[in-house]
């Protein structure tokens, strides 16, 4: 699914107390009223956002619903994010920096098969299957969400796909000078079409193996 969230650097300001007469290092204490943002609360809120998105969609999602699902008060959410839009933008943008594992099986077909297996598992997750289409619809109305979603779904995948093609080129499996944009479309396009657009209940038996084999042949023909 959409996993691997980065964490915010939550910290409270602290003030130094005067140095004691014995010369020991002064103890630092948070000023009165400072809010210390506990990481376990932040993670609970993040998890609740995905669950709430899957349950009710972006349009009906509310800070109240997120807080209730996370088991915290609304204030805990607002201390971390100004609005549900900022919250979703933060989480979706975080997906982009995580990326996918870079396969290194020693062959183009093997690398593609492993990439497709990992990506397929993520895209077939029921929560992701509900969240991605909903955010895609919202992206048509909200340029900020559109940009964040593009980075999450495109940039990480392209980085891994480019690495696979580059490694295959170095091994002589793909012709040097092959059209890089076409190569990336061939690698990433079919699975996303099947998982995100067609959205069948499950992939046909041996589909990923056949897709890796066919994509390998297409890349070698570039």
Q: What is the pLDDT of residue 16?
A: 30
Higher pLDDT, 13 or 69: 69
Please determine, for residue 212, whether its predicted confidence score (pLDDT) is greater than 60.
Answer: yes
Domain boundaries, the chain: 36-80, 96-220
Please determine, for residue 7, whether its predicted confidence score (pLDDT) is greater than 60.
Answer: no
Q: Which of 26-40, 67-81, 159-173 has the lowest mean pLDDT?
A: 26-40
CA dihedral 125, 131, 134, 140 (to 10 degrees): -110
> Where does the pLDDT of residue 100 fall: very low under 50, low under 70, confident under 90, or very high at 90 and above?
low
149: helix, coil or strand?
A: helix
> Where does the pLDDT of residue 164 fall: very low under 50, low under 70, confident under 90, or very high at 90 and above?
very high
C-alpha to C-alpha distance for 124 and 199, rounded to whole angstroms: 8
Q: What is the pLDDT of residue 205?
A: 86
Q: What is the pLDDT of residue 10?
A: 30
Q: What is the pLDDT of residue 99?
A: 59
For the chain, what is the radius of gyration of the CA atoms? 23
CATH class of 36-80: mainly alpha
Query: What is the token pair recorded at 146?
Result: 């559109």
Domains 36-80 and 96-220 share a fold: no
Average pLDDT over residues 203-208: 88
Q: Which residues contact 166 (CB under 8 A, 6 or more apart)?
A: none
Q: What is the pLDDT of residue 20?
A: 43
Highest mean pLDDT among 9-18, 87-96, 157-166, 188-197: 157-166
Does pTM top 0.75 for this prediction?
no
CATH number of 96-220: 1.10.357.10
Q: What tens digit of pLDDT does each residue of 12-64 get? A: 223 333 344 444 444 444 444 445 678 899 999 988 998 898 889 888 999 99
Query: What is the token pair recorded at 161?
Result: 């796909």
Q: Which residue has the tokens 């991605």?
A: 132
Query: What is the token pair recorded at 40?
Result: 């376990």
Higher pLDDT, 124 or 112: 112
Long-range CB pairs of 111-118 (<8 Å, 24+ gap) are 111/164, 111/167, 111/168, 112/164, 112/187, 112/211, 112/212, 112/215, 112/216, 113/208, 113/209, 113/212, 115/160, 115/161, 115/164, 115/187, 116/191, 116/208, 116/211, 116/212, 117/208
- Average pLDDT score, the chain: 78
Q: Which of 26-40, 41-55, 83-97, 187-201 has the lowest mean pLDDT?
A: 26-40
Q: What is the pLDDT of residue 15?
A: 30
Please determine, for residue 161, whether its predicted confidence score (pLDDT) is greater than 80.
Answer: yes
Q: What is the pLDDT of residue 127?
A: 66
Q: Which residues contact 18 (CB under 8 A, 6 or more apart)?
A: 26
């Amino acid at each position: 699914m959409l996993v691997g969230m980065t964490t915010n650097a939550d910290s409270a300001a602290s003030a130094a107390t005067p140095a004691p007469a014995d010369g020991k290092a002064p103890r630092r204490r948070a000023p009165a009223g400072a809010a210390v943002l506990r990481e376990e609360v932040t993670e609970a809120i993040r998890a609740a956002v995905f669950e709430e998105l899957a349950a009710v969609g972006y349009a009906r999602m509310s800070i109240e619903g997120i807080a209730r699902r996370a088991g915290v008060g609304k204030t805990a959410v607002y201390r971390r994010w100004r609005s549900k839009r900022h919250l979703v933008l933060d989480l979706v943008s975080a997906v982009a920096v995580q990326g996918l594992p870079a396969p290194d099986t020693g062959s183009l077909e093997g690398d593609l098969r492993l990439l497709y297996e990992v990506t397929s598992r993520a895209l077939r997750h029921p929560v992701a299957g509900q969240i991605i289409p909903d955010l895609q619809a919202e992206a048509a109305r909200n340029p900020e969400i559109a940009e964040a979603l593009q980075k999450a779904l495109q940039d990480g995948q392209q980085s891994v796909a480019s690495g696979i093609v580059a490694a295959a080129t170095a091994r002589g499996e793909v012709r040097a000078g092959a059209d890089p944009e076409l190569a990336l479309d061939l690698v990433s396009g079919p699975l996303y079409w099947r998982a995100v657009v067609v959205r069948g209940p499950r992939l046909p038996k041996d589909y990923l193996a056949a897709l890796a084999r066919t994509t390998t042949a297409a890349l070698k023909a570039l």
